[in-house]
Amino acid sequence: MSGGGLSVNLSAMELVLKRLNDASHEEGRDLSVVISFADAVTAARADGVLQLLGRKLKHAEGRLFHQWWNLEVLAFNSFRELAALEAATADMIIIGLPARQELPETLAAWVKRWLDLRQGRPGALVAVLDDGRKTVADAAGGLVQLKQAAAAGDMDFFVTQARERKVARADCRASEVVRQFVLTRKRGIQTRWAGEERISAAACGQ
């Protein structure tokens, strides 16, 4: 669930752990990220993307608010609704996919709910795969569901952390996902493509 606190890094955008209904968040100036994770592994992967985002935006004004929701917590209707309300206004939603092909029912219900609430609000959806996925195909079902959700919500869609010989390293892929998001934010446009299809090994020097 969510908590409160502050983390300051002079070489990164200021990261703030967001409380529920935090009135200090300034729309249009601050950046908000909502993260859903299944376990410690997927949480660590998602945190890597968050930290990269903060470093890439180190010269930007405003703060980077982030909020975390465990998949077990989302199983409760009341908490799932609260998390959906937060995700409905977030600039980026990061989902750490558990080691299974289809999205768990709880996660799918949460995605559907915040998608309805967003009503086409621009943003980015990032799918973070865990180490158990040796290839992108291992997560095909869940990724298709998320890609469809992003398309329905008019959101950018990115995938990172997949491990496959013919694609770039996981850390480089995460950095490229963040780079593309930062570029689209600066330009004020949406790319409407899956990061999985556009990030090549050559882009990371492999």
The CATH number assigned to the domain holding 186 equals 3.40.50.360
More confidently predicted of 145 and 56: 145
| Neighbour tally for 180: CB within 10 Å | 18
Q: What pLDDT does residue 186 have? A: 63
Which structural domain range is residue 98 located in? 5-199
- Judged against a pLDDT cut of 90, whether residue 152 lies above it is answered with yes
Residue 204 domain flag = no
Residue 28 domain flag = yes
- Judged against a pLDDT cut of 80, whether residue 184 lies above it is answered with no
Q: Which of 24-28, 61-65, 145-149 has the lowest mean pLDDT?
A: 24-28
- Judged against a pLDDT cut of 50, whether residue 165 lies above it is answered with no
- Judged against a pLDDT cut of 80, whether residue 84 lies above it is answered with yes
Q: Are 16 and 66 in contact (CB under 8 A)?
A: yes
Report the length, in residues, of the chain: 206
How many domains does one find in the chain? 1
Give the mean model confidence (pLDDT) for residues 20-48. Answer: 84
Label residue 187 exposed, middle or buried (CB < 10 Å: 0-12, 13-18, 19+): exposed
Residue 173 domain flag = yes
Residues sharing a CB contact under 8 Å with residue 90, sequence separation 6 or more, in sequence order = 32, 33, 34, 67, 123
pTM value is: 0.78
Query: Each residue of 12-33: pLDDT tens digit?
Result: 788 899 887 766 777 777 889 9
Residue 175 domain flag = yes
Residue 177 domain flag = yes
Q: Are 62 and 31 in contact (CB under 8 A)?
A: yes
Residue 130 domain flag = yes
Residue 205 domain flag = no
Give the mean model confidence (pLDDT) for residues 176-181. Answer: 74
Q: Are 151 and 118 in contact (CB under 8 A)?
A: no
d(CA 63, CA 51) in angstroms, rounded, equals: 13
Residue 167 — very low, low, confident or very high, per pLDDT cuts 50/70/90? Answer: very low
Residue 206 domain flag = no
How much is the mean pLDDT over the chain?
76
